[in-house]
Amino acid sequence: MSETGDLTFGQRLRAAMDEHGPLCAGIDPHRALVESWGLTYDLDGLRRFTQACVEAFGGQVAAVKPQSAFFEVFGSAGIAVLENAVRDLQGAGTLVVVDAKRGDIGSTMAAYAEGLLGKDAVAPGDALTVSPYLGFESLRPALDVAAQTSRGVFVLALTSNPEGRTVQHARLRDVSVAESMVTSAAAENAAAAERGELGSVGLVVGATVGSAVQELGLDLAAMGGPLLAPGVGAQGGTSEDLRQVFGDALPNVLPASSRDVLSAGPDAATLRDRARSVSETMAALLS
């Protein structure tokens, strides 16, 4: 288990962003990308791909986001590769956001929380992505365990896939589902906000959602937590998009980039240089 010390996830993330810039580098070893590196799409290729990413990103970026599914596809041996990567990145002083998008109810959600965030977890990340579409309070086990272990969660709120609108833009008594996620996260972050700190309950908001934030009346700055923002760079998100989507919340944005960075592989040194360059670009976009 990693040691988080006395600082909250929000405090540690703010310090990491101040030191390294805002980039959250993805580790997405899907078949096409692994093979584009000249590696075989098997357990050995997965290990070599992941090792290069760990060597390149450890101690260099604010956070790293491994996509759990691309490790789970190889069964328990693939999960072991992910666990080793989490440990090695944390050993290098880099925050890890495990992108697993877990969401369930009752004892099942509690088991996910203990397994991925708990004090006795095998290799817990510093934060976990979670899906709230069984109701925000269904996430309570993860929220509570994260708070107890000084870890964080990123709640899916406003994603850029076209299908997301059917759920996230839906309204009940004039309140959209997305707005309910923002206000619920703000309530979780209230104590940190009173201390002038970044909260540990973040949201996932796509950088390419256009005018949706304004249309839905979302106050992302008042939410008080970090905003994990996929879609910047190769997926089309520009500085204008970021300003339109995030507005006053720009200082809390953690842009996630996989394709832009990973296209520089497989050499770890080249990959590291690319991550630094993308991080500088992200910092400029957010300034």
Query: Which positions are catalytic?
Result: 101
Q: What is residue 61's DSSP assignment?
A: S
Instruction: Supply the angle between the helices 140-148 and 106-117 in degrees, to the nearest 10.
Output: 30
Query: Per the structure block, which two tokens stand in for 138?
Result: 């269904």
Q: Measured between alpha carbons, how far is residue 200 from residues 13, 176, 186, 214 in Å?
A: 9, 23, 10, 24
Direct distance between the N- and C-terminal alpha carbons of the chain, in angstroms, rounded to an integer: 36
- Name the 3-class secondary structure at 22: coil
As given in the structure block, the two tokens for residue 9 are: 């996830």
Phi/psi at 261 (5° precision):
-85, -50
51 Cβ contact partners less than 8 Å away, ≥ 6 residues apart = none
Name the one residue in this structure whose structure tokens are 């101690």: 59
Burial class (CB in 10 A: 0-12, 13-18, 19+), 5: exposed
238, containing H or E segment? none
Q: Are 94 and 63 spatial neighbours (Cβ–Cβ below 8 Å)?
A: yes
